[in-house]
């Protein structure tokens, strides 16, 4: 990972704002908890160590940052992603031709949204953290808008550290030491053929993650179960697992934990995939919507 001129431990918002302003960069928070828009960064060219430090600190603090009007090339998108770490592809989501590092985020490849095919397009309008079916889920995604519908198609992000903090003490105590199972088939299984589903099962056996994880960089505690991939809490009664998951999945829906991003052409959102969930609002069909995602590999999840 690239060196960090401004570490999260020494993050002082006033200092960060001043440093950014000194370099012609403006950071505008969207809520007091999660989300910020950043202006004045040139993403087409390699970032200076100072600008990278500012971007990284803002990303850690605000969890999702949005940079608008940045018509970057595929190469610049990939280069920006690599500042955060190594990149990875995806076993089901198609990539942009010639660029295995860039996923094409769009309903179902080659299928037009019609009343009959619409279900497959709803894959992204479920709350989730990306790829928690992996033993090492990604730490960040950089999502760039290519083609937007005339109306709708926002993306919601939820702060899962705030969701943890907001839980009743009795629930915190109950779940803190538990693990849950995350399973690719629970979600992507519905988008592929039976044969492919069996292959996914073999390639991605269900994994175990703590229900409450610690952010390796900020130290925050994070509620780490999501509707899309978490199949059950392990080593407890199945009916209690079901009841707890229902409660925990619902906590993400509290509006005070969220920010809602409205896309504009060539906006790019960069989220911390450890401390957030997101949901693509499916309110634009049958119009089309195409985004491109670069995904940064992660590490084992720990308490
Ligand atoms: C993703 C995703 C959200 C969106 O790229 O991981 O869930 O708004 N996309 O398209
Ligand atoms: Mn996603």
Indicate the SS3 state at residue 291. strand
Give the model confidence (pLDDT) of 234-271 as tens digits: 999 999 999 999 999 999 999 999 999 999 999 999 99
Q: Is the CB of 124 inside a 6 Å radius of any atom of ligand 1? A: yes
User: pLDDT-derived band of residue 135, with 50, 70 and 90 as boundaries?
Assistant: very high
3-state helix, strand, coil in the chain (%, to 5): 30, 25, 45
Q: Which domains does the chain have, with CATH numbers?
A: 13-296 (3.60.130.10)
First to last CA, the chain: 22
Pocket test for ligand 1, best of 66, 93, 103, 105 (most atoms within 8 A of CB): 105
> What's the token pair of residue 212?
């409450």
Per the prediction, the chain carries an average pLDDT of 92
Cβ contacts of residue 48 below 8 Å, gap of 6+?
none
Cβ contacts of residue 102 below 8 Å, gap of 6+?
74, 77, 78, 95, 96, 292, 293, 294
> How far apart, in whole angstroms, are the C-alpha atoms of residue 207 and residue 300?
11
Ligand 2 center from residue 128 Cα (angstroms): 6
Whether pTM exceeds 0.85: yes
Give the model confidence (pLDDT) of 40-50 as tens digits: 999 999 999 99
The answer to whether residue 27 scores a pLDDT higher than 80 is yes
> How far apart, in whole angstroms, are the C-alpha atoms of residue 112 and residue 271?
29
Give the model confidence (pLDDT) of 159-174 as tens digits: 999 999 999 999 999 9
Q: 54 φ, ψ to 5°?
A: -65, -45
Ligand 1 center from residue 280 Cα (angstroms): 6
Closest C-alpha among 276, 271, 277, 274 to residue 293: 271
What is the mean pLDDT of the segment spanning 203-232?
97
Question: Which ligand is located closest to the Cα atom of residue 267?
Answer: 1
């Amino acid at each position: 990972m690239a060196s960090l001129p401004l570490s999260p431990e020494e993050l002082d918002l006033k200092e960060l704002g001043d440093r950014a302003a000194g370099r012609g960069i403006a950071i505008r928070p969207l809520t007091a908890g999660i989300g910020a828009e950043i202006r004045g960064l040139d993403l087409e060219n390699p970032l200076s160590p100072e600008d990278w430090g500012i971007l990284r600190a803002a990303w850690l603090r605000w969890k999702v940052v949005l940079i608008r009007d940045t018509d970057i090339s595929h190469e610049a998108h990939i280069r920006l992603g690599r500042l955060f770490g190594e990149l990875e592809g995806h076993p089901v989501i198609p990539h942009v031709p010639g660029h295995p590092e860039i996923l094409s985020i769009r309903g179902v490849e080659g299928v037009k949204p019609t009343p009959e095919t619409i279900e497959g397009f709803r894959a992204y309008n479920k709350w989730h953290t990306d790829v928690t079916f992996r033993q090492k889920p990604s730490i960040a995604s950089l999502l760039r808008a290519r083609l937007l519908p005339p109306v709708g198609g926002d993306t919601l992000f939820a702060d899962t550290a705030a969701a943890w903090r907001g839980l009743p003490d009795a629930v915190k105590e109950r779940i803190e030491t538990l693990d849950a199972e995350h399973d690719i088939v629970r979600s992507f299984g519905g988008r592929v053929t039976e044969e492919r589903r069996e292959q996914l099962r073999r390639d991605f056996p269900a994994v175990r993650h703590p229900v409450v994880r610690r952010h390796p960089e900020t130290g925050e505690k994070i509620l780490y179960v999501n509707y899309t991939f978490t199949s059950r809490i392990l080593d407890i009664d199945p009916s209690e697992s079901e009841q707890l998951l229902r409660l925990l999945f619902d906590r993400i829906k509290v509006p005070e934990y969220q920010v809602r991003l409205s896309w504009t052409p060539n906006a790019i959102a960069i989220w911390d995939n450890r401390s957030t969930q997101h949901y693509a609002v499916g309110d634009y069909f049958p119009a089309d919507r195409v985004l491109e995602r670069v995904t940064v590999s992660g590490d084992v999840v720990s308490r």
